[in-house]
Amino acid sequence: MLDLSLILGVSQKVICGHIHAYEQETEQIVPIRATVHDIGSSVTHKAEVVRRFLRNESPDRVARATHHSQAAVDRYLSAYQRIRLLAQRFPKDQLPTLSGIAPSVVAEYQALIQEYEPQLKLYATVTEGSQSTAARASATDTPQPSTAPLEAVAVGSRRSDGRGAR
């Protein structure tokens, strides 16, 4: 963007504003370096792929519209589903470690969950009686064992024979 700002004689902020406005109007991602290589603080194309899927677009249509391979789209949707499942059983700060997904991408996926599935009971909002599990655990001096089933931890794990956990 620096090169565009120098050529056009405007600030990078102006260029970013125009790109963002175009993306909002057309619902297409401008293939700038930050989005193509998933760097910087911009919303990643991973979030846009999942967003389109959550808007009921088929994965093959999402792949064509975003200029991604079907394998990449399937990988992003699988990562989203991992975060969606883990977020119901574990605190937010543990999700990047448990899933192996970058914290910034986890945050984007969590925002999508809140936007498209607000009724989903996440870890911090799961309550039994009047106190949440996290509040009860912090109210005592004795560490409480996790009540999460082991299936949630096994997401993406492999069996001892090298085949998938399916």
CA 147 to chain centre: 24
The total domain count for the chain is: 2
Instruction: Write down the residue that tokens 């792949």 correspond to.
Output: 63
Q: Is 25 in the same domain as 46?
A: no
155 lies in a domain? Answer: no
Interatomic CA distance for residues 120 and 133, integer angstroms: 16
Q: Is 54 in the same domain as 25?
A: no
* Residue 89 confidence (pLDDT): 93
* Residue 22 structure tokens: 């175009």
* pLDDT of the chain, 166 residues: tens digit per residue: 677 778 888 888 888 888 888 887 887 777 776 656 555 555 567 888 999 999 999 999 999 888 888 998 999 999 999 999 999 999 999 999 999 998 989 999 999 999 999 998 888 655 444 444 444 444 444 444 444 443 443 344 444 444 444 4
Residue 25 burial class via C-beta count within 10 angstroms: exposed 0-12, middle 13-18, buried 19 and up: exposed
Q: Is 79 in the same domain as 116?
A: yes
Interatomic CA distance for residues 2 and 9, integer angstroms: 10
Q: Is 50 in the same domain as 114?
A: yes
Q: Residue 22 sits in which domain range?
A: 1-30
Report phi then psi at 46, rounded to 5: -60, -45
